[in-house]
């Protein structure tokens, strides 16, 4: 689980040029807090799908909140374990 979070966090920080913003954290709402725009959401999902060889379905999207590093990692963790 920690591995997933580390990988995902590193991807997001790099991809969306977050740098060392002190407000950024694993439980922060990526979209509401303005770290990632709506187009970035797709990139995050594509990244975890390719990196972990999993498929996030429309059901996953509608059933689970996937707005924070914690929440997205949770879904990925369920899929690979």
Q: Where on the chain is the footprint of other proteins (CB under 8 A)? A: 21, 32-35, 37-38, 41-42, 45, 56-58, 61-62
Of 2 and 50, nearer to other proteins (C-beta) is 50
Going from the C-alpha of 63 to that of each of 20, 58, 60, 66, 75, the distances in angstroms are 32, 8, 5, 9, 10
Of 1 and 72, nearer to other proteins (C-beta) is 72
The C-alpha atoms of residue 74 and residue 61 are separated, in whole angstroms, by 12
Of 58 and 81, nearer to other proteins (C-beta) is 58
């Amino acid at each position: 689980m920690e591995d997933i979070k580390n990988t995902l966090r590193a991807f997001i920080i790099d991809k969306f040029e977050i740098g060392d913003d002190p407000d950024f954290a694993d439980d922060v709402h990526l979209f509401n807090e303005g770290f990632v725009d709506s187009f970035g959401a797709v990139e995050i999902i594509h990244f975890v799908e390719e990196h972990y060889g999993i498929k996030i379905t429309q059901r996953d999207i509608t059933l689970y909140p996937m707005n924070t590093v914690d929440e997205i990692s949770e879904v990925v963790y369920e899929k690979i374990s």
